[in-house]
Amino acid sequence: MRFGANYTPSQQWWHAWLDFDPGSISKDLDDLAGLGLDHVRVFPIWPVFQPNRGVVRERAVEQLLELVRLAAAAGLDVSVDGIQGHLSSFDFYPSWTQTWHQRNVFTDPDVLAGQALLLRTLATALRGEPNYLGMTLGNEMNNLVPHNPCTPEQVDAWIDHLLAVCAQADPDHPHCHSAFDDAWYVDGHPFTPQASARKGAMTTVHPWVFSLDCARRYGPLSTEVTHLAEYGTELARAYGEVGRVIWVQELGAPDPHIPVADAPEYAAQTLANVTTCADVWGVTWWCSHDVDRRFVDYPVLEYGLGLLRTDGSRKPLAETVSRAVRELRSTPPQPAVRKTALVFEGGGLDSRRESGPGGAFFEAWMRLAAQGVRVATVLADRSDDSAYLAARGITELVQLGDVT
């Protein structure tokens, strides 16, 4: 199992692409490697890399390659998100998608062609780097849906086309896509659980404790919060095929949802629980470094999410994560045998809400977890498939009404 961090440069956040400082970035990466982490996930900013629909800036691509090589020197592998897209509450659009050129980023054929050019260029350039892990289409692109309305069919076509572009340009690495938790929990959302769990080389999950106010609803060290990453992983597994790899791509301790004093214990319990799940590629903490307070207009929770402060010093949270990672490396966790599965009757376009925090299915699953059961999740339409259940090691099905 891999352990890493979503990299947020300490001095410039991702405005670093505008003032690229190899020395600062190299120090950041050395500090992360010193925690025992083995990879970072990095984010090219769309308007910086592609200021015109027909132009991907060569210098920006060179800087991305330089960052990848600095990571290699620190002993870190690198995953790249292609289209940003959405980051830390900000949406980044190039001017050629806006105002006089207003175009839907999921459905307009010209935008799709531009995105394909960007991803093809990045995938081709990165393919030969020995520490490169593969491409994610973009970070939580479903957060752009409110301003770019689309249907599930249009989203599926967008994902399929751009994954194919990445695979054609670079067949040597796995490529995937990501979505914010709305894809799993919000009825009617055009990014569906099925798309997340069945498209791309692996499934990515971002089990955020602020989704549907989970931590405030139940408490920062509650069963519902410390088992949330485990729950999100098992919910995703129910939508996919047996043995499909899942990447816990974002996991963090946002204050005030998780108070600073509780963050180390939250991290220790969360990592202990999620590493009981089978077929997990890795866990990537959000994020590496705090956001400097001189950058304004971020939501308060974004400033303190780092394992490290902006001066590179370690927080107690970082010490806990580092210790947990080293222990998990020295004694690799054995996935729990999840013989008991709770049956979820939802999963369609308009029947997801009950699987989110506050929902009846979510709370029933957590009641079983609180009793010490390592619970699997099965969709109702697969609950009669004996071969499927046997392949997953499930011997007992529990209905929602049976959990008290």
Give the residue extent of every domain in the chain. 2-330, 340-402
Which own/partner pairs from 363-366 qualify as long-range (CB within 8 Å, at least 24 positions apart)?
Answer: 363/224, 364/400, 364/403, 365/231, 366/223, 366/224, 366/227, 366/231
User: What is the full per-residue pLDDT of the chain (404 aa) written as tens digits?
Assistant: 999 999 999 999 999 999 999 999 999 999 999 999 999 999 999 999 999 999 999 999 999 999 999 999 999 999 999 999 999 999 999 999 999 999 999 999 999 999 999 999 999 999 999 999 999 999 999 999 999 999 999 999 999 999 999 999 999 999 999 999 999 999 999 999 999 999 999 999 999 999 999 999 999 999 999 999 999 999 999 999 999 999 999 999 999 999 999 999 999 999 999 999 999 999 999 999 999 999 999 999 999 999 999 999 999 999 999 999 999 999 998 999 999 999 999 989 999 999 999 999 999 999 999 999 999 999 999 999 999 999 999 999 999 999 97
Please give the distance of CA 369 from its chain centroid, rounded to a whole number.
23
44 near 122, Cβ under 8 Å?
yes
Structure tokens at 57: 């800036």
Residue 228 makes CB contacts below 8 A (sequence gap 6+) with 207, 209, 214, 270, 357
Residue 344 CA to residue 365 CA, distance in Å, equals: 10
220 near 267, Cβ under 8 Å?
no
Q: How far is CA 237 from CA 3, 183, 261, in A?
A: 20, 14, 32
Max Cα–Cα distance, the chain, nearest Å: 60
Residue 21 CA to residue 9 CA, distance in Å, equals: 10
Structure tokens at 79: 């995953």
Residue 75 CA to residue 108 CA, distance in Å, equals: 41
**Count of residues making up the chain:** 404
14 near 60, Cβ under 8 Å?
no
Single-letter amino acid, residue 192: T
Radius of gyration of the chain (CA): 20
The CATH class for the domain spanning 2-330 reads: alpha beta
76 near 131, Cβ under 8 Å?
yes
Residue with tokens 């990879």: 39
pLDDT at 333: 86
Other beta carbons less than 10 A from residue 206's beta carbon: 24
Structure tokens at 166: 């990445």
Helix or strand holding residue 80 (H, E): strand 77-83
